[in-house]
Amino acid sequence: MDSAFQAIELSKTFRKRWSQREVRALQSINLAVEPGTVFGLLGPNGAGKTTLVKIALTIAHPDGGEVRLLGESVRNRSVLRRVGYLPENPRFPSHLTAWQVLRLYGSLSGADMKRVNQNASKWLERLDLGQFRDVRVSKFSKGMNERLALAQALVHDPDFIFLDEPTDGLDPIGRREVRAICRELADKGTTIFINSHILAEIELFCDRIALMKSGEIIEHGTLAELTSAQNGYELVVAVTDELRSWLLEKAFTFTAVDGHLHIRVPDRSSANSLIDALRAKNVELERMAPGRRTLESVFIEKITD
Amino acid sequence: MTYVICHFLKTMFRPGVLLDTFQESFRNKMFLFFFIVASLIVVSIGLTLNMDVVNGVMRGVTFFGSELHVPAYSVKQWVENFQSGLAMFIGTFGMIVALMATSTLFPQMLQKGSIDLLLCRPIPRWRLITARFVGGAAIMAFNAAYLFFGVWIVLGLKSGIWNHGFPLSTLLAIFAFIVLFSVVMIVSVTTESGPAGLLVAATMLMFSPVLAAHERITPAFSSELYRRIFRSMYWLLPKSAETIGAMRRLIIELPLDIDWVVGTSLAFALACYAAAVIYFTRKDY
């Protein structure tokens, strides 16, 4: 089966017009996203995330390589009929109402207007904008604008959706609603590509994650793969002063949390040795699990490498 | 025929961009201003212009209750002079107002967050910008036609003189506007600044009478190089003054010899349009 998104040897360098300075935004990127997944692209500011998305949507042009969406090269613009996009800081024509905005962008996407009208009503209601349907967008708050931007990305029933910082400016309820919509759409087969630097959101949203730094993909996998890889084990036992002294004496790494000691060991044999020693001291083991890092720790580790 | 034109517009530009340009233009305060001023001119001529005609000769005219001193013109001459004076006023002052009203169309489209939402659609970029250009030009053509036809009808009803040159001169006014609007387009697209586009177009309009007098001016230059530069500028730049002057000739039924004026101005407008499209098509946003 074709990937829903495919970047092949994608390169882009920005050159300052009046100086020799160059910024290599993308460096021969290869990346694929399977259909029906919620994919998260993470990276610090300036990593090249937005450039990658903009090239995929033909808003910017690559220096080399190509992007394929839903099996077709984006050079064939007709594939963009099946693509939705929520940009960071969207700006709508201020003279239009919410309803007119959705009709305008639905028609520009080449969708059937009957379907656009139905979807416009549906998404305005779903995103809690139904009562503001005939209000001009110039009167909208940032959160309302962001919800309307999501509705315009969905109004033509796209098969692939790019969301750039989709929860920016939303309250916790709005964020939960956006997550629920993304999950529903993905379950129906829509591929969702989220571009964000909010790690907690990515952890909650995404089936697969890629980390990007200085125009390169430096890590790629599921959340479990990224956070558990080669990270040893963690044993949890009840705190006693005697045990704490013994662990310090043996130079184990541990932290005390809520009356328990979380002891980290680098590999399976060390874990087994420690269990034997603890059992010999009549210490009861509360829990043992493969050591799992947080996405934040992985992100910081990879980005500061 | 109407179906063919509608279908062509629909498939070429997608109605959305054109309609949005119209809506944006109507909500634009400057357009409202232009429309109200045009309406006031038509209404004031209709209600306050009174002509005293004796045996086909103007004996007197009152405008807003004040008597205008009129030499013993025939009614036809007086109407032609009034219309040509109005056409000159519209061709200069009205043109600048029209350029001001349209100068924001391109920068607004190019704003960050707004342009992204247009470029991610399955529409070639040249169509997007062409729709914007056509939308802006169509709005001004509507305004110009409204004013010229309004004045023509009111004056025709009052005087019984139906000078066909006056409504026809609308075409020249629209042409002069489109040429300068193409300057606004290229400058606004490259600089993303409305005032910059307006400034360049208005400067060309103001400078065009000077260039039009090149045959009288160039002999005064000390160097042949300067003379050549000045003549080249005349041939390269749009001939707005001569196009507006041609409106007067058309109204007072003098012979028109403007093929080269229209031809070179059209070539300039096409070059501006092509440059704007190429720049817009290649630029990363």
Across the interface, whether the CB atoms of A59 and B116 are under 8 A apart is answered yes
Q: What is the ipTM of this complex?
A: 0.81
Average pLDDT (A12-29) is 86
Residue B10 counted as domain residue: no
Q: Which of A13, A55, A88, A104 to mutate to test the interface with B (most CBs of B within 10 A)?
A: A104
Cross-chain CB nearest to A87 (options B23, B116, B282): B116
Mean pLDDT of chain A, nearest integer = 90
pLDDT at A231 over 70: no
Give the tokens for residue A9. Answer: 């040897």
For A105-152, the three-class secondary structure string (H helix, E strand, C coil) is: HHHHCCCCHHHHHHHHHHHHHHCCCHHHCCCEHHHCCHHHHHHHHHHH
pLDDT at A8 over 90: yes
The lowest-confidence range among A18-22, A146-150, A250-254, B250-254 is A18-22
| Torsional sign, CA A113, A118, A123, A129 | positive
Could you tell me if B22 and B134 are in contact, meaning their C-beta atoms sit under 8 angstroms apart?
no
Residue B3 counted as domain residue: no
Cross-chain CB nearest to B284 (options A60, A104, A152): A60
Please state the domain extents for chain A: 5-227, 230-292
Residue A87 distance to chain B (closest CA, Å):
7
Residue B9 counted as domain residue: no
Across the interface, whether the CB atoms of A91 and B113 are under 8 A apart is answered yes
pLDDT at A210 over 90: yes
pLDDT digits (tens, 9 = 90+) for B250-279: 999 888 888 889 999 999 999 999 999 999
Cross-chain CB nearest to B117 (options A95, A105, A107): A105
Could you tell me if B150 and A88 are in contact, meaning their C-beta atoms sit under 8 angstroms apart?
no
Across the interface, whether the CB atoms of A60 and B285 are under 8 A apart is answered yes
A101: closest CA among A146, A44, A67, A160? Answer: A146
Burial class, B66, CB count within 10 angstroms (exposed 0-12 / middle 13-18 / buried 19+): exposed
Residue B6 counted as domain residue: no
Residues of A in contact with B139 (CB under 8 A): none
Chain A residue nearest residue B25, CA to CA? A95
The reported pLDDT for the residue numbered B241 is 94
Residues of B in contact with A93 (CB under 8 A): 20, 23-24, 108, 114
The reported pLDDT for the residue numbered B4 is 61
Q: In this prediction, what percent of chain A has a pLDDT beyond 90?
A: 62
Say if B27 is an interface residue toward chain A (CB within 8 Å): yes
Chain A residue nearest residue B27, CA to CA? A95
In the structure, what pLDDT confidence band is assigned to residue A217 with cuts at 50, 70 and 90? Answer: very high
Q: Report the predicted TM-score, pTM, of the whole model to 2 decimal places.
A: 0.83
Residue A6 distance to chain B (closest CA, Å):
17
The reported pLDDT for the residue numbered A157 is 95
Say if B190 is an interface residue toward chain A (CB within 8 Å): no
Q: Which of B120, B123, B139, B191 to mutate to test the interface with A (most CBs of A within 10 A)?
A: B120
Helix (H, G, I), strand (E, B) or coil at B69: coil
Indicate the number of domains in chain B: 1
Residue B114 distance to chain A (closest CA, Å):
5
- The span from the CA of B272 to the CA of B266, in Å, is 10
Higher-confidence position of B58 and A25: A25
The reported pLDDT for the residue numbered B2 is 59
The reported pLDDT for the residue numbered B10 is 57
Helix (H, G, I), strand (E, B) or coil at A183: helix
Cross-chain CB nearest to B284 (options A61, A108, A152): A61
The reported pLDDT for the residue numbered A61 is 96
Across the interface, whether the CB atoms of B118 and A77 are under 8 A apart is answered no
Strand partners, A222: A208
For chain A, the distance separating the N- and C-terminal CA atoms, rounded to the nearest angstrom, is 35
Residue B143 counted as domain residue: yes
Say if B115 is an interface residue toward chain A (CB within 8 Å): yes
SS3 content of chain A, % helix, strand, coil (to 5): 40, 30, 30
Strand partners, A97: A136
Chain A residue nearest residue B28, CA to CA? A95
Which helix (DSSP H) or strand (DSSP E) does residue B111 occupy?
A: none
Say if B220 is an interface residue toward chain A (CB within 8 Å): no
pLDDT at A18 over 80: no
Q: Which of B111, B119, B121, B192 to mutate to test the interface with A (most CBs of A within 10 A)?
A: B121
Give the tokens for residue A112. Answer: 């059937």
Which parts of chain B register pLDDT below 70?
1-20, 22-30, 70, 72
**What's the fold here for domain A5-227?**
Rossmann fold (3.40.50)
Across the interface, whether the CB atoms of A85 and B120 are under 8 A apart is answered yes
Residues of A in contact with B20 (CB under 8 A): 93, 96, 104
For chain B, the distance separating the N- and C-terminal CA atoms, rounded to the nearest angstrom, is 39
Under 8 Å CB pairs connecting chains A and B tally to 81
Q: Which CATH architecture has domain A230-292?
A: 2-Layer Sandwich (3.30)
Say if B114 is an interface residue toward chain A (CB within 8 Å): yes
Query: Structural domain of residue B213, as residue ranges?
Result: 16-282
Cross-chain CB nearest to A108 (options B16, B113, B114): B16
Cross-chain CB nearest to B119 (options A14, A59, A78): A59
Average pLDDT (A98-109) is 94
The reported pLDDT for the residue numbered B6 is 60
The lowest-confidence range among A60-69, A83-92, B199-208, B250-259 is B250-259
The reported pLDDT for the residue numbered B25 is 66
Residues of B in contact with A80 (CB under 8 A): 120-122
Residue B120 counted as domain residue: yes
Chain A residue nearest residue B119, CA to CA? A59
B246: closest CA among B263, B267, B232? Answer: B263
> Which residues on chain A place their C-beta less than 8 Å from a C-beta of chain B?
14, 54, 57-61, 77-81, 83, 85, 87-93, 95-96, 100, 104-105, 107-110, 152
The reported pLDDT for the residue numbered A274 is 92
Burial class, A190, CB count within 10 angstroms (exposed 0-12 / middle 13-18 / buried 19+): buried
Average pLDDT (A177-194) is 94
Across the interface, whether the CB atoms of A110 and B282 are under 8 A apart is answered no
